[in-house]
Structure 1
Amino acid sequence: MDLTIFRKKKRYMTIFAVVLIGITILSAKMTNFDFLHGIQTMPKAFNWIGSNLIVTEQALEKLPSIMDKLIETIFLSITATTTASVLALLLALMGSRTTKINDFFGNLSRIIASVYRNIPIVAWALILLLSFGQNALTGYFALFLATFGFLTRAFIETIDETSSSSVEALRATGATYFQVVAKAVFPECSPQMISWILFMIETNIRSSTLVGILTGTGIGFAFDLYYKSMNYNVVSLITISIVIVVIGIELVSNYVRRVIL
Structure 2
Amino acid sequence: MQADYFEKKKRNTLLFLAILGVVTVLAIIITEYNVVKGFSSLPKAVEWGLANFYPTQESLTKLPAILDKLIETLLVSIAATTTGAVIALLFAILGSNTTRVNAFFGSISRGIATIFRNIDVAAWAMILLFSFGQSSLTGYFALFFGSFGFLTRAFVETIDEVSGGSVEALQATGAGYFSIIFQSVIPASLPQMISWILFMIETNIRSATLIGLLTGSGIGFTFNLYYKNLNYDVASLVVVVIIVAILFIESVSNYVRRAVL
Matching residue of 2:22: 22
Matching residue of 2:253: 253
Matching residue of 2:167: 167
2: CA distance between counterparts of 1:75 and 1:16? Answer: 42
1:137 counterpart = 2:137: yes
Matching residue of 1:209: 209
Matching residue of 1:37: 37
Q: Deviations over 1:232-260 (max 9, x none)?
A: 10110000100000010000001111111
Matching residue of 2:178: 178
Q: Match of 2:110, SS?
A: helix
2: CA distance between counterparts of 1:134 and 1:13? Answer: 46
Q: Deviations over 1:105-158 (max 9, x none)?
A: 100000000000001111111111111111111111111111111111111111
User: How far does residue 188 in structure 1 lie from its aligned partner after superposition?
Assistant: 1.2
1: CA distance between counterparts of 2:80 and 2:2? Answer: 51
2: CA distance between counterparts of 1:17 and 1:165? Answer: 40
Identify which range, 153-162 or 1-10, moves more after superposition.
1-10
Matching residue of 2:242: 242
Q: Match of 1:196, SS?
A: helix
Matching residue of 2:199: 199
Q: Match of 1:61, SS?
A: helix
Q: Match of 1:178, SS?
A: helix
Aligned length: 261
Structure 1 unaligned residues grouped into runs of 5+? none
Identify which range, 32-41 or 163-172, moves more after superposition.
32-41
Letter in 1 for 2:203: T
Letter in 1 for 2:144: F
Matching residue of 2:46: 46
Q: Deviations over 1:137-186 (max 9, x none)?
A: 11111111111111111111111111111100000000011110111111
2: CA distance between counterparts of 1:153 and 1:167? Answer: 19
Matching residue of 1:188: 188
User: How far does residue 3 in structure 1 lie from its aligned partner after superposition?
Assistant: 2.2
Letter in 2 for 1:230: L
Q: Match of 2:99, SS?
A: coil
1:12 counterpart = 2:12: yes
2: CA distance between counterparts of 1:152 and 1:213? Answer: 27
Matching residue of 2:92: 92
2: CA distance between counterparts of 1:235 and 1:190? Answer: 40
Q: CA RMSD in A?
A: 0.8
Matches within 5 A, 1:57-96: 57-96=57-96
2: CA distance between counterparts of 1:3 and 1:134? Answer: 60
Q: Match of 2:180, SS?
A: helix
Matching residue of 2:127: 127
Letter in 2 for 1:4: D
User: How far does residue 2 in structure 1 lie from its aligned partner after superposition?
Assistant: 2.3
Matching residue of 2:232: 232
User: How far does residue 20 in structure 1 lie from its aligned partner after superposition?
Assistant: 1.0
Identify which range, 98-107 or 12-21, moves more after superposition.
12-21
Q: Deviations over 1:6-65 (max 9, x none)?
A: 222212211111111111111111111122211111111111111111110111110000
2: CA distance between counterparts of 1:118 and 1:2? Answer: 38
User: How far does residue 212 in structure 1 lie from its aligned partner after superposition?
Assistant: 1.0
Letter in 2 for 1:28: I
2: CA distance between counterparts of 1:232 and 1:93? Answer: 49
TM-score (norm: length of structure 2): 0.98
